[in-house]
Structure 1
């Protein structure tokens, strides 16, 4: 079931407190699920509270309003702020703990040179997190509106704003991931939507972030009569940029596409299905004109077994814990400043 929540207060601390109070049970579940995941995959001793505190320091320096919002979420939910910091830095902490998790998510964008872009992605994550996400609408005092699909207690993930800018989100893995706790990529994605009005500002912010765990943010922009897209491959050495092909098609799964970063990519050796997914999407969509949302969701509807699937389902005869599932299929209408978050995989909505 898809949940929509619209904040009714504008100040960051109070907005977070309202959100935390309204969703205390779900936030506690998110914290508990991640504590279990950290324990399950850790290859070194750790203190999740201390790591969360490091994340809060990074967030305060990078995006002070989101730091205030996180403190408010903690107050409203009655949970120590360090644990809310930790779930916002879940990607960074997993890298710090030495986890080589299978990549998640497949993204497709058709950037039309004379029209609005068409976008879709699957969000694949552990099946036990299936009931801990929502769509959050966040009005700002000056009329800006951010809409994001995210986990309860985490400030952002894929999303769109009402100024013609959207983000899709895929995890990557780099040899230098986890050397420290840097700016959380989930915070960066949300801060782009809150603070940027065009794709140039968003790319500059990605360059300034200084992340410690790799992900790719596919930025999509639209104005009347044109659209643009770029995948910003974030990694500890600095971001790399990947642009659409000559037909405006931009595909990303969970391996680096930028030539300079490929030698440091740990994903293909550990989970080569990312290459299979990318190739399948490319062959299904390359050279096709006039793609629409339905076409992208159809291309993402593929069940190639437990690995290589674009649309993932846990095995019914096994415990959900530790199994992957497509938790949501997400499309953006960047020109309208709206998104659609469909529960489960594309196969449920075609």
Structure 2
């Protein structure tokens, strides 16, 4: 995956969309083409995919119109059908029409100390063939406010932070109440949290306000000040409801791709042969060694003694078709205090060896 960057100073979502689509039209177009082929490879009828995308985009417009307008403007500037870009934005909602995938996406570890900034790291695991390009966006959600995020071209956001000191990580989940009904895209919820939330409570309120058809978890961190300590929470969202998971007593909050809330976990549909439990156990085993480190040291510590063979370093099974090959495409940490993302397009072992870029 090649990381492309864009800095935007406009607060107009339509203009921002035009800037993204105009600066990187090939990336927008390729993302739309690849996802359409991916849906077909998974056995999802393309007319059905279009209908889910249309319903989800309409629900997004009703929930928060500026993000729908940004998507449409991006499509127009790139010369791509608006619905095809909306389908990438609603890719999680469309994928709910297929059988649950054997794997999920991502391993996240967040530490909230008694004082000072949260220490975070995440892997993003997905199909390399779907994402030749990723986007790092530095932008102005509103006057006097800045934000930075990583995402795929066409999805509103995945991982990011804002100038209020809030950071957000993103992991996919699956629940038996997920459906092909269409819902507010979970990537758009992530984006609105990055754009607007000043606190964990703000993030919970925003996530709870959206009608969803697919499940995910937003792990958010909040900057402390003289009156309050730093905070973090994992906000698990599904059609069955919203649950909030707090850090453990040592300040660590870990998440992979299964529900941690007891009530929502009863409906979890992540397949038994997924590595989600193995990756979670690995994070639990190495977490005590990840505190008080710089980003490169934290990436190495995330692997622990297993190094390149760590469970969180996902390698593709090359004997399988591309839509069944899972790979760690990105390692990313958030420094919300200084509003920076530390990124490497590869595994944490690769990041520790080759370095990370500060964006």
TM over 0.5: yes
> In terms of mean alpha carbon deviation, does 282-291 or 142-151 score higher?
282-291
User: Does the 8 Å contact 2:165/2:337 carry over to 1?
Assistant: yes
Q: 1:268 and 1:292, CA in 2 relative to 1: closer, same or farther beyond 3 A?
A: farther
- CA apart distance, 1:320: 4.6
Identify the residue that residue 235 of structure 1 maps to in structure 2.
238
User: Does the 8 Å contact 1:52/1:84 carry over to 2?
Assistant: no
1:293-333 deviations in Å (ceiling 9; x for gaps)? 3453224335787xx83112224677655311111101000
Q: 1:243 and 1:40, CA in 2 relative to 1: closer, same or farther beyond 3 A?
A: same
Unaligned segments of structure 1, at least 5 residues: none
> Equivalent residues in 2 for 1:64-143 (5 A)?
64-143=65-144
CA RMSD, 1 decimal: 2.1
Identify the residue that residue 325 of structure 2 maps to in structure 1.
323
- Measured in 1, the distance between the counterparts of 2:20 and 2:39 equals 25
TM-score by length of 1: 0.92
- CA apart distance, 1:130: 4.0
- Measured in 1, the distance between the counterparts of 2:50 and 2:6 equals 28
Aligned length: 347
Q: 1:295 and 1:249, CA in 2 relative to 1: closer, same or farther beyond 3 A?
A: farther
> Equivalent residues in 2 for 1:295-306 (5 A)?
295-301=297-303
Identify the residue that residue 185 of structure 2 maps to in structure 1.
184
- CA apart distance, 1:292: 4.9
> Equivalent residues in 2 for 1:192-211 (5 A)?
192-211=193-212
Residue 71 of structure 1 aligns to a residue whose secondary structure is helix
User: Does the 8 Å contact 1:43/1:98 carry over to 2?
Assistant: no
Q: Does the alignment pair 1:262 with 2:272?
A: no
User: Does the 8 Å contact 2:44/2:97 carry over to 1?
Assistant: no
Identify the residue that residue 356 of structure 2 maps to in structure 1.
none
Identify the residue that residue 12 of structure 1 maps to in structure 2.
13
- Measured in 2, the distance between the counterparts of 1:129 and 1:238 equals 30
User: Does the 8 Å contact 1:118/1:332 carry over to 2?
Assistant: yes
- CA apart distance, 1:102: 1.3
- CA apart distance, 1:42: 2.5
- Measured in 1, the distance between the counterparts of 2:19 and 2:44 equals 37
User: Does the 8 Å contact 1:223/1:335 carry over to 2?
Assistant: no
- CA apart distance, 1:33: 1.1
Identify the residue that residue 32 of structure 2 maps to in structure 1.
31
- Measured in 1, the distance between the counterparts of 2:231 and 2:176 equals 30
- Measured in 2, the distance between the counterparts of 1:170 and 1:256 equals 10
User: Does the 8 Å contact 1:329/1:342 carry over to 2?
Assistant: yes
Identify the residue that residue 215 of structure 1 maps to in structure 2.
216
Identify the residue that residue 341 of structure 1 maps to in structure 2.
343
TM-score by length of 2: 0.90
- CA apart distance, 1:96: 2.3
User: Does the 8 Å contact 1:3/1:134 carry over to 2?
Assistant: yes
- Measured in 1, the distance between the counterparts of 2:277 and 2:143 equals 43
- Structure 2 residue corresponding to 1:246, chosen from 239, 244, 249: 249
Unaligned segments of structure 2, at least 5 residues: 353-359
- Measured in 2, the distance between the counterparts of 1:73 and 1:194 equals 18
- Measured in 1, the distance between the counterparts of 2:319 and 2:98 equals 30
Residue 285 of structure 2 aligns to a residue whose secondary structure is helix
Q: 1:133 and 1:181, CA in 2 relative to 1: closer, same or farther beyond 3 A?
A: same
